[in-house]
Chains A and B, each alone.
Chain A
Amino acid sequence: MEMTIPVLILAIPLFMFLFLGLLGMKMSHKLAGTLGTLGMGTILVLSYYTAFQYFFSGAPEFINAAGERLQYLVFDQTWLQFTEKLVIKVGFFLDPISAMMLVVITTISFMVHLYSMGYMRDHHGVYEHGFQRFYAFLSLFSFSMLGLVVAPNIFQTYIFWELVGASSYLLIGFYYTKPSAVSASKKAFIVTRFADLGFLIGILVLSYYGGTFNFAELTSAPVEGLAGVSQVSLGTAEGIKAMFTNSAAPVFMGASVLTWALVLIFMGCMGKSAMMPLHIWLPDAMEGPTPVSALIHAATMVVAGVYLVARLFPLYLMETAALDIITVVGALTAFYAAMVACVQVDIKRVLAFSTISQIAFMMVSLGVARPEFHEGLGYMASMFHLFTHAMFKALLFLGAGALIHAIGSNDYTAMHGLRKYMPITHWTFLIGCLAIAGIIPFSGFFSKDEILSSCLGYSWVAYLWMSLVAGMTAFYMFRLYYLIFWWKEHETPEGHHAPHDQPWTMSLPLIFLAAVSCVAGFIPFGELVSWNGHPYDFMAHFDWSVAAVSLCVAVAAIVLATVMYRKENPLPSKMRNALPALWTWCYHRFYWDELYMFITHSIIFRSVCRPLAWFDRHIIDGTMDAFATVTNKVSEAIKPLQSGQIQMYVWYYLIGALALGVVTILCLL
């Protein structure tokens, strides 16, 4: 494959970032926005082309005679050499999941670029302050995210991992004059930074034992005769595991070092993908502009954790303990987030928790995937869900953005009954809700069902648990839907225009994404993506009984939501009064933020930093100052020696001379 297009895919957004960042203020808003969107459009085309080439060209570097998809290193360039073996190379790695991610990222990103042209201006058409900056940051984000998914080695992943974190920071804090946005961006960065610490240590451990950063050398075996081409291979992963077990210290604190490494890397994923207990940044991240939430905090960046686990999946298979941890963390997070989502008032928060919950689905799906069950269906399901979720969640967020744009508030209490005023938004939002609820034939149905099937293969507890969560998902989404669009008639506050649908730049992405959500379920995903590149017809693994059950659960949940929220009625408050404690805990998100506040503020800040700073100023510095003070004190104390009296001088003289002699004599004796 030619190098030009992959290079352009990375270079264009970087260039757009620098160009818009440095010169954006000199150009008009419209020009900057158009340029940014056009740039993104180009990347979109290039990425689609690349993905198409990868999946369908049938070139020998992409697919072998047995129809197995291969991994292809398009290029790599040494960026920083640590040692002989440990080299960071910047490169472009094509395999099923990176090709899929290219599509996802560029699609959503382009939609968001387009959408923002309409969103980032007020009703009079005046662009927001910093519009150019917004596009520059979007380009930076796209660059980082693309770099992340095509990384051929784990260190490049880490590099771009940090960069997406930074662009997320910049975008969450886009409204930097708002203190809440500032603190939300800070929180997001620091929480993910903390997680990245684990990731970094994990990389260090893995690379020390494994002796390489390259994914191809960690999880795949090279294909004979084709440079840069490799195929996922459990043998290689076993070889890596052997390097761990053969070392002098294969076990650390009761777990194998490989498990430690993988869990530490997963810690990084937990941070980025907002798994409990590192999820707290994501709801706050909704302070950013809504397109940003759609792009970064729903569709792309937050699934980076899932993506990374998928990338290292053969290694995780070596240590099922690590996979179990992933399953448990995912399952707990999914349930927790669904609970919380049921009571939130802010529509973006509901969507945020729903995102957390859905990403947890993907994590669980990876955690339960085993090659021996349905050919690793969980892996494919996870990726499939990643794909469909990206589409419908972006749709939901963009829809929410349209609502917020129209109403000027995030709160559903300010909305109600908007279905007549904003039909396009209404219908697309409904499609999104149906997709996420898992109603046939929308895309979510297929992907979620496969996740549940693979859970069933793992254990029936996991299956039941996740089915419950799936039901809750349908419930809270429709609660949201009804509260926004139904409940009661909309009341426009005095002096405001009645809400209306958005300009085409905003509608087009909604419609497009809604369309995708309708049909994406029929993509033969198993043919394209599987853990070892071996294609299979996933419908063959489709468990209709599972599907029927989950469909029933979803429908029941929707019915319940309809009953409770379609029309204004006292049922919700009755429910709330029936379980006040549960409601309060859910409403306050189980007090995770307060707990973190307590740990960071009271413990780290007040009990570590402050005392340390005090210690530094008073003890360490005090000691240094004490040298000076003591010297001065001594100087003052021996002042009487120089009394000005000759006789005293002579007396000291004599004592000195005698002492000199006497002490020497004593020493000699």
Chain B
Amino acid sequence: MEITAVYYLIPALIMFCCGVYGFITRKNMIAMLISLELMLNAVDINFVVFNRFLYPEQMEGMFFTLFAIAIAAAETALAIAIIINIFRAAKNIDVRSLNEMKF
């Protein structure tokens, strides 16, 4: 059995969907962050796979992935910091309690 791009892409897609599902259903903001990471990583996989299987002559996808990982890290760091702030202020990190401002 030859491993084709699809074998990577489908798990990536599933990963992305899991991420979305997690993001939408988790109460805990940290869990949501983890879901976001899943989504971003799914994107990374896509880029790498496309590069490796479809356009192996160039490295654009790979480089993009590298940058994306860095960006993801930055996002997480920032998000964690803000969540900590929230925790200090509200003593919980339940995303559903964040509805002071609405309508």
Contacts and interface: CB of A to CB of B under 8 A. Distances in A.
Direct contact of A and B (CB under 8 A): yes
A644 interface: yes
A654 B24 CA distance: 10
A645 B98 CA distance: 7
A166 B91 CA distance: 87
Contacts of A650: 20, 23-24
B2 interface: no
Given A645-B96, A647-B25, A647-B95, A654 B20 contact: yes
B95 A644 contact: no
Interface string A646-666: 110011001000000000000
B24 A639 contact: no
Contacts of A647: 23-25, 95-96
Interface in A618-654: 639, 642-647, 650-651, 654
A421 to B, nearest CB: 92
A639 B103 CA distance: 6
A647 B95 CA distance: 8
Nearest to B24: A647
Given A651-B24, A654-B20, A646 B102 contact: no
Interface string B16-35: 00001001110000000000
Contact of A644 (B20, B24, B25, B103): B103
Nearest to B20: A654
B57 interface: no
Interface in B20-67: 20, 23-25
B95 A643 contact: no
Interface residues of B, number: 12
**Chain A residues touching B, majority SS:** helix
Given A651-B24, A654-B20, A646 B95 contact: yes
A642 B23 contact: no
A250 B24 CA distance: 83
A639 B100 CA distance: 15
A645 B25 CA distance: 11
B10 to A, nearest CB: 18
Nearest to A642: B103
A interface bracket (residues with beta carbon within 8 Å of B): 10 to 19
Contacts of B102: 642-645
A647 B29 CA distance: 11
Contact of B98 (A642, A644, A651, A654): A644
A646 B98 contact: yes
Interface string B65-103: 000000000000000000000000000000110111111
Nearest to B99: A644
A41 B16 CA distance: 110
Nearest to B23: A650
A650 B22 CA distance: 12
A567 B34 CA distance: 124
Contacts of A646: 95, 98
- Give the most central of B20, B99, B102: most A CB within 10 Å: B102
Nearest to B102: A644
B99 A645 contact: yes
Nearest to A644: B102
A644 B101 contact: yes
Contacts of B20: 650, 654
Nearest to A654: B20
B21 to A, nearest CB: 10
Which of B25, B98, B103 gathers most chain A CB within 10 Å? Answer: B103
A647 B25 CA distance: 7
B35 to A, nearest CB: 10
Contacts of A643: 99, 102-103
Contacts of A645: 95-96, 98-99, 102
A647 B31 CA distance: 13
A644 B23 CA distance: 15
A639 B102 CA distance: 9
A638 to B, nearest CB: 10
A650 to B, nearest CB: 6
Contacts of A642: 102-103
B82 to A, nearest CB: 12
Query: Which of A642, A643, A644, A651 has most chain B Cβ within 10 Å?
Result: A644
Contacts of B96: 645, 647
A640 to B, nearest CB: 8
A647 B103 CA distance: 15
A642 B100 CA distance: 12
A422 B26 CA distance: 115
A201 B34 CA distance: 87
Contacts of B103: 639, 642-644
Contacts of B101: 644
A497 to B, nearest CB: 88
A651 B100 CA distance: 19
Contacts of B23: 647, 650
A647 B96 CA distance: 8
Contacts of A639: 103
Nearest to A640: B103
Nearest to A643: B102
B19 to A, nearest CB: 11
Contacts of B100: 644
B86 to A, nearest CB: 12
A523 B70 CA distance: 125
A312 to B, nearest CB: 77
A651 B23 CA distance: 9
A639 to B, nearest CB: 5
A651 B25 CA distance: 10
B55 to A, nearest CB: 24
A644 B96 CA distance: 9
B31 to A, nearest CB: 11
Contacts of B98: 644-646
12 contacts: A643-B99, A643-B102, A644-B99, A644-B100, A644-B102, A645-B98, A645-B102, A647-B23, A647-B24, A647-B95, A650-B24, A651-B24
Interface of B: 20, 23-25, 95-96, 98-103
Closest 4 pairs (CB-CB, A-B): A644-B102, A644-B99, A647-B24, A639-B103
Given A642-B102, A647-B24, 5 more contacts: A639-B103, A644-B98, A644-B99, A644-B101, A645-B95
